[in-house]
Every structure is written in structure tokens, then in C-alpha cells.
Amino acid sequence: MSITRCSAPFCRIERERRSAKRNSSSSWSVQLIFWTCPVALPTPCRSTPWLQLWQGSSLILINPPAARAMLERVFEQFSAQHDDIGQILAATGMVESCNIEFSTFGALDPWIAVLERLLRSERNFPSATVEIRAYAALMLATMWRQPDLPVLQECVSRVALLLNKTGTVTAKADVAVQLLQYYDFSGHFASATSLIAKAAPLFDDPNLSLLRRSSWLIFVGYHSLMTGADRDGFQAVEQAHAIAQEYEQNWVDFFYDVIRVFLYLRGGEETKAASLLDKLGSTLSEERATEVMLYNQGRCMLAQLRGDTGLAAHFAQTCLEAAKETGGAYFNILGPAIVGSAFVEAGQYARARELIHDAQRLSAGTCYEPYDALLLMVDAYSYLVEGKLSDAHRLLSRALATSRSADSDHFFRWMIVGFRRMLAEALRAAIEPDYVRSLIKKFGVTPESADIEDWPWPMKICTLGRFTIVIDDVPLRSHGKAQRRPLDLLKFLVAMGEREVASDSVVGALWPDLDGDAGHAFESTLHRLRKLLRRDDAILHVDGRLTLNPELVWVDAWALERQLGKVEQAFGNTGEARRSLTDDMAEGVLRLYRGHFLAGESDVSWAAAMRDKLRSKFLRALYLIGDRYEAGGRWEEAAKLYQRGLELDNLAEELYRRLIVTYQKRGQLAGALE
């Protein structure tokens, strides 16, 4: 392109320059000229720092390193001229270019001091646009590098206030993206949600570049990831990617893929996550530390889900090294909080705690303090896995209390493997039980074991002593005659134990006299039962086999069978058992066995078989536990055990005999004669 062909645009640039200080919105016109006429400034114009400022600013979105090189030279010119507004705009552009590049942030340090000094003294901004961009830049720089500075919160408040005032649509849109970034990175999700609602109309403005809309959508996708709105997250990044493809905005590709990776991992879709990670790995640039960190974070989480602890720890270490290279405080707090659990699962407890404690020191007194609950949770996890329950419970209590008071539970979503184990332990130890149940329901956490009776199961079926169905903590009432057959189907499935049952077996047991209509009766009854239970997925019917969904339904009879199996395994040999183990086993068996299976409700063969099996195992468990009590001279405990057993089964002659022996051993002959 010749100078002659560019003469008209540069004449216009000169006109814009003359009004730049009076009307900063003209800067966007000049930037547009540079985008449409990307040539070097003519020699006479190079001595004009304002023109170079606009040219450097026009490069921020398309070539951040080149923008910084030009803006740094321009800043020196403005500094020599004592032009505060020029210095502010140049420094603002420096920060914006680092944030747009999103790779390393160490270069921000000198600009924090510059902007803080200039903004303290400058009060006569030429426009709201200049002011809001400057405060947003200082907000970003301190967020990344010095989050403990008091000026950070001053900037956040100022930016939020100015966003509601006048200014160009472009500037307000850019700052809305930056403020959303701050809110979500620092854990202020309520503020982020409010901002998304308020700022959304900006991005529908026909005068706004679609490129800026794609940036907004990427951060909306991240917000959805953090708040559990997975569907919204996928939708947002899909829209961002479509825009980016049309305008060849390639930087969006990485974030489009990596946010989907985390959404897939959290949803348990390992295959889809692995495929995307392979794609990311094939184009990964080792020079972009942030991308290296996030990629290895995804690899670490995938390895954790697959149970490959060694590989997870390897990726965790690479992730942390890249986080350090970024120089961003956010990544050096988030990284250990997320991948620290990988070292726990690899048995590297000291390493995990060192990382957590370093991150806690870094976040203390900063905008990142909301991460403390997650850091405490991972710390507690390290002690639980190591078997140090006292320390684990102490830290778990602190983690839950901190999360509840700071409303920072969203960060627990990053604990992709150990979180449900910690929730289960909290319920077992009665640590913040109501809050824990609310977290389980909020996040839709499934239990790692069906033995956790206190888990807020969507459905509980009680068959020992009295038949009861509890849905979402509310007993199902008014079974009625019309529901008899569906309930028979449910009872039959329970009686068959924790296994899949062939449809033919169900038909043979419940409709032995029907021939051609038996299949229809079965399908109709299954449909009615699912309707009664209020969710189709409570009963799984795959390849002609039925079972109750173990992630949704807790059954007391099945829990009892598992507990009785533990007693047999622990005491069914001549080895000595710990005193506490004996007590725990006794308490577990007696808590679950509240009466005989479907007592008084059905004498059909399949119910009777389950009833007799459980009764026999129950009595054997009492005898095994009683033997341990007697061997240890614990006659009082043995007596209570046998007495409780007789209350549940007064026909067990062996229990009477054993109870009499306990009276004799304690010298209570009158009690023995009774």
C-alpha cells in the first residue's frame, strides 16, 4: 500500500488527534483507521505520541506483544511531556495487552505503581471512558500480581460504579468482561451473576464488534462452569466459538476446548474430555504458560478420575511449574487447590500439605480468601487418606464452617475425586450435617458407598420391621389397593438382593398363572411403579434385567446384609478384634435390624426366603460379637447385646442361654432365674 493511497486516512488521524484530549471517544475512530489501514505511521507523525498511542492500542486485540512494545515507547514520550492522561492511557494499554495475551503476568508490576500514582493525582479525566478503562486496568494488574493491595477493592468499587454511567459501548463492554473476570476468579459469584444480567444488553448492541461478544461469552462460559450451570456453559462457549471462527479469532479455540474439558470431567464424561485433551495437546505451545498449566490441570483431573495416581501426580507437577511461570497469583492459588489432591492420592501427603500451606499464605488478606475453604478441604483430605482422623475432622470442620460463612462452596466443584468422600466422612462424624446435606443436594453428589445411611438419598426403602418408602425425606403415604401390585414388584426386587433380576424371573414370581398377558402386566406394573416413585431412573431396566438404581435408592435390607458381611469378615476367624471395632459392629447391626424382613406383610416364598436368610445372619452376627465381649470379660456389654437381640427375635433360644450366662458371670442369680 502506497503512502499516496493512505494520505486521506492520515489526514483524518491528524484531525482526530487535535480533539483527542477533549473527546476520548475519537480514539476508537483512530483505532478503526489503523485496523483498516495497517501501515506504519509516516515519519512526520512518529513524533506525535497520541497517534502512536492509538496505533499501539489498535494492536492490543490482534498482537499484544507488538502493542506493548509501542505503548512502552509512547509512555516514555508522555512522561517526558508530563502528560498524565497520555501516561494513564499508555499504562492502561500495557495492562490490557497482558490480560488479553493471558500467558504471563510478571510484566505488570511496574504499571501497578504507575497507575496507582497517576490515578491518585488525576481527577480531571477527559471522559468516563478513559476513567473506567484506567481503573479497570489497575484492578486487573493488582488482581494478577499484588492482590493484597488495598487499592484493588477501591478499583473494583469504582469500576462497578462507572459501568452504570455514560461511556462508549465498546469501553463499557470491555470493562464488563474484565469485571466479570475479577468476580469469577475471586469467587464473588453473586456479583458476577448480577453483572451478567445487567451487562447482557451491551453485547446485543449492533454497534459493538462481535469479537468483543466472543470474549464476553468465554467468561460467561467460565462463570457457568463455576456455578454448576453446565448447559449454559456449553451454550456460551459454542456461541463464542462460532463468532471466533467467522472472524478467525484463533485465541478463542483454546478456551473453547478447555472449558468444555472441565465441563465434561465434572460430568464424568471421561472419553469426551480425553478426546479434547488430545486435540489441545497436539497444538499446545510451551511458550504459553497459562495454556500449559490449564492443559496439564485437565490431564491431572482425568488421570484422577481413572484412578491412575502416578500419572495424575506427574501432570500435577507440570501444572504447578507452569502456574509458577505465569506469575499470576490466581493460578498459584488455584493450581495447588485443584491438583493438590493428586499428591494425596499418590501418597505424597507432605508434598500436598506444603502446596496447600503455600497457597494459603499467598491468599491470606487478598481477594482470593474465598479459596480457603477448598484449601482446607484438601488439607483435611490428606489427613483422612493417611488415616489421621483427628486432624482430618478438625480441618474438615474448619473447611465447612468457612465455606458456609463465606458462601464459597462453589470452589468445591474443583475437587473432582475426594469431595464426596469428605462429605461422607462429615456425615459419619456429625460435622455440620445439615450444611453437608445441603451441599450434597445442591451439587447432586452421588455417594461413594451405599453404606452411608445418613446420606440425603433421594429415596429410601425400609423393609425391616415395617415397610416404608421415603422420597426426599418425606414418607410416601396412601399406598392404597391400586398400588399393591407395583409395591409387590418393588418388594420382590428388594428380596432378590443387590443384583440384577431377569424380567422372566419377575414375571414367574408375580404372575405365575398368566400366559400371554404376563408381559403386558409386567410392563404396565413397572410403569406404575416408576410413576409412584416419581422418577423413572429409580429402577434400571437394561437388556431385560431390573435393579434399583444404587446412586438414588438406599435399601435397609441391603445395607444390613453388607454390615453382616463385615461382621463375618472381622470376627469369623480366631483373630483378636479391637474393642472399638466390636462396639461399632454391634451398633451398626442393631441400628439396621429393626425387625424381620417384611414382617407380617407377605408369606410368599421369595419374601420368606429373604426373611429367613437375614434372621439367620443377624443371629450369627450377634453370637460372633457376643463371643468377643465374653472373651474380653465385657459381660455387661454382652448382656445388653443379647437383650436387644431378644427384643427383636424372642424365639432365639441361644440368646436366652447366653443372657443367662451373663447374669451368672455377674453374680445376678435372680436375673438368671427370671
Q: Which domain CATH number covers 528? A: 1.10.10.10
User: What's the rounded Cα separation, in Å, for the pair 604 and 551?
Assistant: 29
Considering the domain architecture, whether residues 506 and 376 belong to the same structural domain is answered as no
Q: Based on the fold, state whether residues 569 and 590 are members of the same structural domain.
A: yes
- Answer yes or no: are the C-beta atoms of 303 and 345 closer than 8 Å: no
- Residue 455 in any domain: the answer is no
Same domain flag for 141 and 24: yes
Biggest CA pair distance of the chain: 121
Looking at the fold, whether 143 and 56 belong to one and the same domain comes out as yes
User: Which residue intervals of 364-418 are DSSP H helices?
Assistant: 372-386, 389-406
Parallel, antiparallel, or unpaired for β 553-555 and 501-502?
Answer: unpaired
| Whether residue 588 is found in the same domain as residue 657 | yes
In the 8-state DSSP scheme, what is residue 368?
T
The whole-number pLDDT of residue 24 equals 43
Domain's final residue, options 382, 413, 443: 443
Please name which of 346, 347, 354 lies closest in space to residue 320, comparing C-alpha atoms.
354
Nearest to 243 by CA among 206, 210, 288: 210
- Direct distance between the N- and C-terminal alpha carbons of the chain, in angstroms, rounded to an integer: 113
Residue 258, in any domain of the structure? no
DSSP 553: E
- 293 lies in the same domain as 416: yes
Q: Are 303 and 437 within one domain?
A: yes
Q: How far apart are alpha carbons 177 and 171 in whole angstroms?
A: 10
Together in a domain, 506 and 433 = no
Count structural domains, the chain: 4
Element (H, E) at 554: strand 553-555
Residues 163 and 26 in one domain: yes
Q: Which residues of the chain have pLDDT under 70?
A: 1-47, 122, 478-480, 482, 515-516, 572-580, 602, 669-674
Q: What is the pLDDT of residue 572?
A: 65
Chain centroid, CA 657 distance in Å: 56
Rg (CA), the chain: 34
Q: Are 341 and 304 in contact (CB under 8 A)?
A: yes
Supply the pLDDT for residue 580.
64
Is 537 in the same domain as 479?
yes
Q: What is the pTM of this model?
A: 0.84
The CATH number covering residue 631 comes to 1.25.40
What's the domain range around 644?
Answer: 556-673
What pLDDT is recorded for position 475?
93
Q: How confident is the model at residue 27, as a pLDDT?
A: 44
Residues 628, 548 share a domain: no
Identity of residue 452: I
For residues 665 and 631, give the distance between their C-alpha atoms in angstroms, rounded to a whole number.
12
Question: C-alpha grid cell for residue 412?
Answer: 468445591
Structural domain contains residue 201: no
Domain boundary among 552, 580, 604: 552
Last residue of a domain, one of 552, 577, 611: 552
